[in-house]
Structure 1
Amino acid sequence: MEGGRNASWWMVDIGPDHQLMCNYYTLRQDGSRAFIRRWNFQGSLDGKNWTNLRVHENDQTICKPGQFASWPITGSNALLPFRFFRVLMTGPTTDDTNPWNCCICFLELYGYFR
């Protein structure tokens, strides 16, 4: 649950000595057909308070098992440094049997360390 709603997430902590200003990111779908369609890519300094870096609504980009896809972070949020990054699902996947499984197997972050 996130804010009283169903949610699944996948988080990365780059460590207490690092902060990244992320301007691009890449996800890879695992081998399943449970494709994410609605999610927020977020950053945080403390792992508790999150800032949306990119919001995806009905994003059809990922449509094959094992597929890679990349998106830019635009606007002023691309200049904010964060320690934690996460993919927060805000809607179910395309898999009816387990729609809240976050089926990604790879996250790559691009940007500048502060």
Structure 2
Amino acid sequence: MCNYYTFRHDGSTNFPRSWAFQGSMDGETWTNLRVHENDNTICRAGQFGSWPVLGPSSLLPFRFFRIILTGRTTGDSNNWNLCICFIELYGYFH
């Protein structure tokens, strides 16, 4: 059960602004654990960002996790590239 997550941005200027952190038990049906819209937390290359998973989804176990972009990133190219170095998941094994 994931109740917090962190990711680190890579060295590019493509900063994510809108994305969803999702969980799944089968890899086909996904549940939004946290949705970000116009989130300005990541604003420097290599920066870390951490967010809690709130609500009833934080009490459910999931086997798979992913981050998907729901809007364009910043930067000169204004594209759909999710540029992160790593992700850390915090919570409980069930």
The interval holding the TM-score normalised by the smaller chain is: over 0.9
2:2 corresponds to = 22
- Match of residue 42, structure 2, among 25, 48, 62: 62
> Is the contact made by 2:25 and 2:62 (CA closer than 8 Å) also made in structure 1?
yes
Structure 2: how far apart are the matches of 1:48 and 1:96?
Answer: 34
Does residue 49 of the first structure (1) align with residue 29 of the second (2)? Answer: yes
2:20 matched to which residue of 1? 40
Q: What TM-score does the superposition give when structure 1 sets the normalisation length?
A: 0.80
Q: Unpaired runs of 5+ in structure 1?
A: 1-20
Q: Percent identity?
A: 69
Q: How does 1:1-114 map to 2 (within 5 A)?
A: 21-97=1-77, 99-114=79-94
Does the aligned pair in 1 maintain the 2:13–2:76 contact within 8 Å? no
Q: Deviations over 1:56-106 (max 9, x none)?
A: 000000000000010001111001101110001000100242611110111
Unaligned runs of 5+ in 2: none
Distance, in Å, in 1 between the alignment partners of 2:92 and 2:19 is 24
